[in-house]
Amino acid sequence: MHIDYPAPLPHGRIRQLLPDFFVVRGTARVAPGVVVNRNMGIVRSGDDLLLVNPVRLCPVTEERLCDLGQVRQVVRLGFYHGCDDLYYRDRFNAFFWRQAHSDHYPLPPADQLLSDSGKCPVSGGRVFEFSHSQVPEAALLVPQAGGLLLTCDSLQYWNGWTGCSWAGKWMLRFSGVHQGMQVVPAWCRRATPEHENNQRWLAVDFERLLDLPFFHLLGAHGDFCADRAHELAERAVASSFVDTPVRH
């Protein structure tokens, strides 16, 4: 059966950020003329590759990906992501992870569900779920270089607007995105039930997130934050939720 997979969108090269951790900055078309960046994380363990928040690559860059190792696993961390998951599942027969009900893109079905108490795709790592969110959202702690946190739409670091069109940049800014580490306002609004206060509802989840040991962070959008990610995340959480003090 022929499947019409989404074509690759413009993206950059594969870049190494940490030992055995790489990233590709891709793009997503939100609407005509409205383009924002999106990131695919690549975690290498021996000859095996784990793709987080997958972005389909052009043939030349896909060859470079294969030079790094064999794509074994694919992880979806956010409800609204997943347009390229089926391609990687079929192309590489990869083992697919997602949360229960993270089915905005219903295919492929999960080979294993991500859960706080369940198995982790990364040896020595940990799966974190935002248990209060009304849309599925997870994070993945990777024990690389003192701790790397991979997120999707919830917590992001922005150092500029590279990869975004003019309209995409202003859409993000009007939605509340700014430069620096932040709990993303638009995601917060979607994740909070209508009758609840979004300045309080998710605070418990983010307090739990700050219990994780990490120095670095990469979200599905934005930029890579090296070395100071936990410190900056503490400040972002404290400024986003009432009665949440900065930790010392």
The answer to whether 217 and 237 have CB atoms below 8 angstroms apart is no
For every one of its 248 residues, what pLDDT tens digit does the chain have, with 9 covering 90 and above? 678 899 999 999 999 999 999 999 999 999 999 999 999 999 999 999 999 999 999 999 999 999 999 999 999 999 999 999 999 999 999 999 999 999 999 999 999 999 997 899 999 999 999 999 999 999 999 999 999 999 999 999 999 999 999 999 999 999 999 999 999 999 999 999 988 887 789 999 999 999 999 999 999 999 999 999 999 999 999 999 976 555 55
What pTM, to 2 d.p., does this model score?
Answer: 0.95
Given CA atoms 55, 180, 215, 247 in this order, what sign does their dihedral have?
negative
Q: What is the pLDDT of residue 67?
A: 98
Domain positions in the chain: 14-240
CATH number for the domain whose boundaries are 14-240: 3.60.15.10
Q: What is the pLDDT of residue 245?
A: 58
Q: What is the pLDDT of residue 148?
A: 99
Q: What is the pLDDT of residue 226?
A: 98
Burial class (CB in 10 A: 0-12, 13-18, 19+), 152: buried
